[in-house]
Chains A and B, each alone.
Chain A
Amino acid sequence: MSAVIKTTTPFTISEVLFAALTKLGAEPIIITAENINNFQNRSNVAIDNIITNRKDYNGLQLFRFNGKVWQLQHDQDEYETSIVSAVNKEYQSVSRFLNELNGIYQVCYQTHLKNLAELERQKIEQARIDRVAATRLQAITEAKAQGYSVKEKNIRGKIQLVLTRSV
């Protein structure tokens, strides 16, 4: 007897997981101190868990972070399953659900990487703008302190300061 198994991409980033669950129609909700009372009688939830609209014998299926990855908590036998949603009623098996989530997670992860790259680009660009502004201000301040009159021009993106004084 032989078997082939396949694991999903480890779900390590909560923002990416949340986005993937949303795209998949699992209507995720992050459990907080404010909303935990709304779910305690429907599942064994804890703060920071991400619940879904998937329900089984144990209550709402949820993702829980084990310190390394987010894992789906569900009834092993998938007994008494349903979807708790006004718009989505079709329950998929856990394996099929995780398989689809896996694909969407990878797409969302790529988006996440692009967002991080864009944030880094903006950070570098802002640092450049700040550096130029600081250099300009320092030059003008020092020039005036030393008795120069200052005329400023902008020439093709460069700042030109003409400092003049009589001696």
Chain B
Amino acid sequence: MPEQQITLTIDEEGAITAKTAGFKGKSCLEALEKLLGNTTDIIQVKTTDEYHQQQTIECKNTIKQRN
């Protein structure tokens, strides 16, 4: 059964770095939005080559909590 994984790293100031694996296309961003809601401001998004090829199995987002 396919597995989806999100790794959240919360730094000392409460900012979050999120890395996803096992998602297809933009669903990784949607999953993060659903998980973190509107309480965060995304300040940076890094995507993999696979993301742009629509065969994505991994994308990486860096977001920061709105204070």
Contacts and interface: CB of A to CB of B under 8 A. Distances in A.
Contacts, number: 70
B6 A163 contact: yes
A27 to B, nearest CB: 47
Contacts of B3: 164-167
Interface in B1-52: 1-14, 16, 22, 34-37, 39
B67 interface: yes
Interface residues of B, number: 23
B1 A128 contact: no
Interface stretch (A7-15, A82-90, A142-150): A142-150
A148 B21 CA distance: 13
Dominant secondary structure at the A interface: mixed
Given A161-B7, A163-B6, A165-B4, A139 B14 contact: no
A132 to B, nearest CB: 5
Contact of B2 (A135, A146, A167): A167
Interface in A72-112: none
Interface stretch (A31-39, A45-53, A54-62, A152-160): A152-160
A163 B39 contact: no
A119 B2 CA distance: 52
B14 A131 contact: yes
B33 to A, nearest CB: 11
A139 B4 contact: no
Contacts of A136: 10
A144 to B, nearest CB: 11
A132 B5 contact: no
A58 B31 CA distance: 80
Interface of A: 128, 131-132, 134-136, 138-139, 142-143, 146, 148, 155, 157-167
Given A128-B12, A139-B8, 5 more contacts: A128-B14, A132-B14, A148-B6, A158-B10, A163-B6
Interface of B: 1-14, 16, 22, 34-37, 39, 65, 67
